[in-house]
Amino acid sequence: MSVKERFLRYVQVETTSNENSETCPSTPGQLTLGQLLVEEMLALGIADARMDQFGYVYGTIPAKGDHPARIGLIAHMDTSDGVVGPTHPQIIPNYDGKAITLRNGVVIDGFDFLPDLAGQELIVTDGESVLGADDKAGVAEIMALAELLMKPDAPEHCTVCLAFTPDEEIGRGADHFDVPGFGAEYGYTVDGGALGELEYENFNAASCKVIFHGVNIHPGSAKNQMKNAALVAMEWASMLPAHETPAHTEGYEGFYHLCEMSGNEEDALLYYIIRDHDAAKFAARKETVRRITDYVNQKYGQGTVELNLRDSYRNMKEMVEPHAHILEKAREAFRANGITPVTMPIRGGTDGATLSFMGLPCPNLSTGGYNFHGRKELITVEAMEAMVKVLEHLVCNA
């Protein structure tokens, strides 16, 4: 099965994760995809392929030849809830580099990278959902490599430890990861964007749920009695720095991102994510939301605002830099396939961030995709094929 065929198969299994679920995995579709992957791995001859009680999928490809290293390759099965719904991928066989109009009138245009994709086979959405290249492209690329390595005429290679995780998109992808049982010396998440990306710096991340409690009185007799929770929420939000949002930041600049809001006079909710590469600035951002909460509670009465602040993951840089050789091996694998490696900070996170702090140094590699988490997500077949070759070089030259 080609990497394209695998990708098209996987994206049609709906695996959107759910922040509000207390189960692991957070949605049943992830178990469906996990079981499918186990069956495929067993069919390839990967004898220890398995899915544990938390929905994590593991398998090991034994070394061939004198290659003592043990490298891990990891991708996540869940997809973002940015646009919820089943995925219906569309194929553009020989893309002309111009604007793409999807079925429902969504237009993909204005991106600098589009002309560079001319002549390639493009996979896009139908405009009604995310595509799921984040990270089913990574899953497909790893599985395509597994098929290659399990063939009798496979090239010599090191031991390759495979893992597919649930719930990465909601910051829980490594919560139950069995690092000792996985058995790798170091790993790579295959969860990045444009072909050639190599990332080992990510945001420090926290979730921030702000709950507002009001007092509702009939508007006709509300003077000095009503405490409108929705208006208090708006006031709270107005005290954050207006230009420290994703739409106004880039590179190493951090932000506060409002993901969800709801409410009425009685109760209101704001849900943010907080991000910064710099640990001190990250701590200062968390302190800012605490100070705003204290101020609003002093103004309107204690208990008006509840703040639930939870760290999600940390910047992996400090854990990966001491293992510079694994970064250089990745750069060599890209160059060997005619791809210029581009080292850049992740304006997000991966399972590798948490895994690095769990003792498994784990930088992130590209998948070849663009515009993740939205209706304009896309990837090329050629990029996925190239990533299979990059991964092959990595495990054959460990």
Which residues are marked as active site? 78, 168
Query: Alpha-carbon distance 353 to 204, whole Å?
Result: 9
Q: Where are the beta strands (DSSP E) in 214-354?
A: 255-263, 267-276, 305-313, 342-343
C-alpha distances (whole Å) from 5 to each of 64, 140, 384 are 27, 9, 11
Q: Is 338 exposed, middle or buried (0-12, 13-18, 19+ CB in 10 A)?
A: exposed
Q: Is 246 exposed, middle or buried (0-12, 13-18, 19+ CB in 10 A)?
A: middle
Per-residue tokens: 346: 């992740």
Per-residue tokens: 30: 């992830």
Per-residue tokens: 299: 């103004």
Q: For residues 148 and 388, is the Cβ–Cβ distance under 8 A?
A: yes
Query: Alpha-carbon distance 244 to 249, whole Å?
Result: 7
Nearest-10 crossing angle of helices 3-11, 381-396: 110
Query: Alpha-carbon distance 351 to 306, whole Å?
Result: 29
DSSP tally for the chain: helices H, then strands E: 10, 18
Q: For residues 398 and 333, is the Cβ–Cβ distance under 8 A?
A: no
Residue 180: strand, helix, or coil: helix
Residue 67: alpha-carbon gap to chain centroid: 31
How many angstroms separate the first and last alpha carbons of the chain?
26
